[in-house]
Amino acid sequence: MFENEFKGKVVVISGGSRGIGFAAVKGFLANGAKVCFLSHYEETGAKALAALKEINPDYEVMTKAIDLCDFKAAQELYKEVVAKWGRIDVLINNAGTDCPTWLTKLKQSEWDAVCNLNQKAVFNMSKYAIDYLKKTKGCIINTASVAGVYGSPTGLPYPASKAAVIAMTKSMAYSFAPNGVRVNCIAPGVVETDMTAGMPDFAKKSVGDTIPMKRFGQPEDIANAMMFLASSAASYVTGACLQVDGGYRPSNLLN
């Protein structure tokens, strides 16, 4: 689909050791990119790196475990990537977390943990990437969520932070379009990842009934959308929030 589209391009992906992020890492590498992917733990990054090298030992790929909210760590990361590969073309802010606690029982620490990773990390990683992306006329792709579009009955920090990601995306797109930097986000629906693997069957069926396409998304569905937004086919797309959700709507009650 994107054969040679990303040859010579350098992509940085947070949350890249599993799920959607790992599917994106595989997709960009398979289509010629050089990829630096970030993980929370060194061991998960190393495991993912080994799996990638089994697919193709010649992949140009590296992994780092950093605090995405640490501005010094972000600066040092980009310097290292540029020293290794000479440029940065795509930043994908994919790392995120959730907390299902009901509002009246929600702890301040739980709110902070979700909003720091889901919002502050996007701000921090984007801020220090911009100068490099201006040079390459590159792009940023943020992972939002349909919860940020429609809300959610529980886990307030998650939909709140993902709505913020959508607003940040539109604002950054407005700010940096004159510099040739595009900024878009993707709002995935329900995707088969570690986050949904533990759901009981009745819950999966209940959620599945709200999806007109009658299936959960696969990580590759989201990764393909990321590659589209990073490709030349989307050269006139900026400030968009692309819902990749099988038609999901919270009020859907289809037979």
Instruction: Please give the pLDDT value at position 178.
Output: 98
The pLDDT of 145-152, averaged and rounded, is 93
Instruction: Please give the pLDDT value at position 202.
Output: 63
Q: Which of 59, 132, 158, 248 is catalytic?
A: 158
- pLDDT of residue 208 exceeding 50, the answer is yes
Instruction: Please give the pLDDT value at position 213.
Output: 87
Question: Within a 13 Å sphere around the CA of 64, how many CA atoms are in the beta-carbon half?
Answer: 16
Q: How far apart are CA 159 and CA 105, in angstroms?
A: 17
User: Could you tell me if 70 and 118 are in contact, meaning their C-beta atoms sit under 8 angstroms apart?
Assistant: no
158 in active site: yes
pLDDT per residue as tens digits for the range 8-48: 999 999 999 999 999 999 999 999 999 999 999 999 999 99
120 three-class SS = helix
